[in-house]
Amino acid sequence: MNESAPLRVLYLQPAPLFGGAERQAVEQAAALERFGIEVTVVAGPGSAIIDWLEAKSVRRVIKSANFPGGWPKQRGLLKATLPFRVLDCGLRADVELNQLVAHGRYQAILASLPFAWITGALVAHRHHLPIAWRAGGAYINPAQAAGMWALTRFLRPDLLICNGLAVARTFRPVVPAPVALLPNGVDLERFHPDASPVRYRPAEATVVVGYAARLATRKRPQDVVAMGARLRRSVPGARVLIAGEGSRRPEYERQAQELGADNVRFLGYVSDMPAFYAACDIVVLPSSCEGSSNVLLEAMACGKAVVCSDIPPLVEQIRDHETGLIHRLGDVDGLAASVELLAVNPALRASLAARGLEVARRSSNVRAAECLAGLVRRLVAEYAAGTGGASRADSSPGPRPAPAAEHESARAYPGREPTRPRAAPSAD
């Protein structure tokens, strides 16, 4: 294989909504070409990811109506129709992707999320192409794990790319494939400490606490609302901004009303995230489900102090009392105590923010894309030589870091074990 010749890669990204996985797909697709990878992104059925790809000047983008999720939320008996809807999408996507690969002369497939893993693997194996699955969540339930284990006895990737060590530990037992660690990167040209805070910062606020996530129970916005109610008493000048949408938003708004948390403001979907972070002094993420958090990276890149829960993926990114504060998952008092400490201690806030900024600056999206390009080139070369991929998956070693070891997260993750958070000192 000519090392200098561009590789043609098909990137499959189902995206009914737009979140962390979708944003990483956009960032890396935009940066891969400078490292000799010509990417065609197949995404959909949502339009947000298409708009972002076009804004990033990604030249080869195909919006697919054959990826699942482009329908109203199914309730009651209609939920029983979901497996048939997904199966129908799979059959249609198989036809679409077969035609693309037959005429596109692609050399590899990247697939994100289980639907694309399955449809992409069927097409890749049919056309004798290597495929890499991208995994970004650190939790699957026992039924999902059993189903994945059974599926991968017959249909497996040539490489499993995980965005954190906790993610690798989740999927390695059920996906018998070589594993590479490639944590998320952050766009340092877009996220930096110099953005204007005017757009979202309440004029009366003495300190602003921000939270950005999909409003779903596993992201624990309920903890943020409860924290806001406590801050109303302990730090009267504090204001809490919640960026994100979700079907449960009315429920969380009622919670805020019932708790008297009139210092909590729901912003809905925020397109200008640099302006959101600029409005904040502290960014919190009490989530129970993450892989490699974009929010933490972006907040640190914007020079903000961060507070997060102690789930393993987040502890991989944050060192307690060094680059942020960590509280136990579900401990609203611990979350509030950490925020109260930072609210009244600007020096600590600035110290954590400065160290976090150093970490973020070593974790750019360009370096992540360079790592991904190296993985793709190695995958194609090993597949062509018959020395890599699923054929040797059962004897593959544990997770290995991605190439380009200067990428901060790729260096740090393999040796980083989750640690218990230290108790935050009293703010009194």
What are the structure tokens assigned to 237, written together? Answer: 């000048």
For residue 45, is the peptide bond before it cis, meaning its omega torsion is within 30 degrees of 0? yes
Q: Which residue has the tokens 């102690």?
A: 310
Architecture label for domain 207-361:
3-Layer(aba) Sandwich (3.40)
Question: With pLDDT > 70 as the criterion, what percentage of the chain qualifies?
Answer: 89
277-299: pLDDT as tens digits = 999 999 999 999 998 999 999 99
Q: How much is the average pLDDT of 94-115?
A: 94
pLDDT of residue 390: 56
What are the tens digits of pLDDT across the range 71-82?
Answer: 777 777 777 888
Position 83 confidence tier, pLDDT thresholds 50, 70, 90: confident
| pLDDT over 90 (residue 379) | yes
pLDDT band at 139 (very low <50, low <70, confident <90, very high): confident
Res. 419 pLDDT band, cuts 50 70 90: very low
Q: Residue 13: its pLDDT value, please? A: 94
Residues 249-259 have a mean pLDDT of 97
Confidence band, pLDDT 50/70/90 cuts, at residue 427:
very low
Given a cut of 60, whether residue 54 has pLDDT beyond it is: yes
Per-residue pLDDT tens over the stretch 165-178 = 999 999 999 999 99
Topology classification of domain 7-185+364-413: Rossmann fold (3.40.50)
Secondary structure of the chain in HEC code, one letter for each residue:
CCCCCCEEEEEEEEECCCCHHHHHHHHHHHHHHHHCEEEEEEEEECCHHHHHHHHCCCCCEEECCCCCCCCCCCCHHHHHHHHHHHHHHHHHHHHHHHHHHHHHCCCEEEEECHHHHHHHHHHHHHCCCCEEEEECCCCCCHHHHHHHHHHCCCCCCCEEEECCHHHHHHHCCCCCCCEEECCCCECCCCCCCCCCCCCCCCCCCCEEEEEECCCCHHHCHHHHHHHHHHHHHHCCCEEEEEECCCCCHHHHHHHHHHCCCCCEEEEECCCCHHHHHHHCCEEEECCCCCCCCHHHHHHHHCCCEEEEECCHHHHHHCCECCCEEEECCCCHHHHHHHHHHHHHCHHHHHHHHHHHHHHHHCCEHHHHHHHHHHHHHHHHHHHHHCCCHHHHHHHCCCCEECCCCCCHHHHHHHHCCCCCCCCCCCCC
> Can you name the residues that pair with 8 across neighbouring β-strands?
38
Q: Where are the domains of the chain?
A: 7-185+364-413, 207-361
Residue 423 has pLDDT above 60, yes or no: no
Q: Do domains 7-185+364-413 and 207-361 have the same CATH topology?
A: yes
Q: What per-residue confidence (pLDDT) applies to 393? A: 41
Average pLDDT, the chain: 88
Alpha-carbon torsion, ordered 101, 107, 111, 114, to 10 deg: 70
